[in-house]
């Protein structure tokens, strides 16, 4: 863009840093849930929270990355377009995120 690589722009660096931070937080939460599952301690509400938050985080990260590709991000030949489609499906199958919210709310 403007003769420079996208990574030369501070806003791009900040956006990617935010994405990386969210991914790292998500990985830590999944690790905790995996440990609880293996120990037989994983509660339904925690599993629902993981599914809900992680699928929404995936959508935020993919949406941010899609902007870097501009119009190409919507063309099916680009991997980011597939990631965008997949991210939407994650919030639906395996129990819609609205159902995950009900499960969480019942545990309160």
Every domain of the chain and the residues it spans: 7-106
In this prediction the pTM is 0.86
| Average of per-residue pLDDT across 65-89 | 87
CA atoms within 13 A on the CB side of 33: 17
pLDDT in tens, 16-57: 999 999 999 999 999 999 999 999 999 999 999 999 999 999
CATH fold of 7-106 reads Butyryl-CoA Dehydrogenase, subunit A; domain 3 (1.20.140)
Evaluated on CA atoms 82, 88, 90, 93, the torsion sign reads negative
Question: How far is residue 59's CA from residue 83's CA, in Å, rounded to a whole number?
Answer: 9
Question: How far is residue 61's CA from residue 20's CA, in Å, rounded to a whole number?
Answer: 9
Question: How far is residue 57's CA from residue 25's CA, in Å, rounded to a whole number?
Answer: 10
């Amino acid at each position: 863009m403007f003769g420079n690589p996208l990574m030369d722009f501070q806003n791009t660096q900040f956006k990617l840093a935010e994405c990386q931070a969210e991914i790292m937080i998500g990985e830590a939460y999944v690790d905790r849930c995996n440990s609880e599952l293996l120990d037989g301690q994983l509660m339904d509400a925690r599993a629902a929270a993981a599914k809900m938050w992680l699928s929404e985080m995936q959508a935020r990260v993919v949406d941010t990355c899609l902007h870097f590709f501009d119009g190409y991000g919507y063309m099916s030949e680009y991997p980011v377009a597939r990631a965008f489609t997949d991210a939407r499906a994650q919030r639906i199958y395996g129990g819609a995120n609205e159902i995950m919210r009900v499960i969480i709310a019942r545990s309160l």
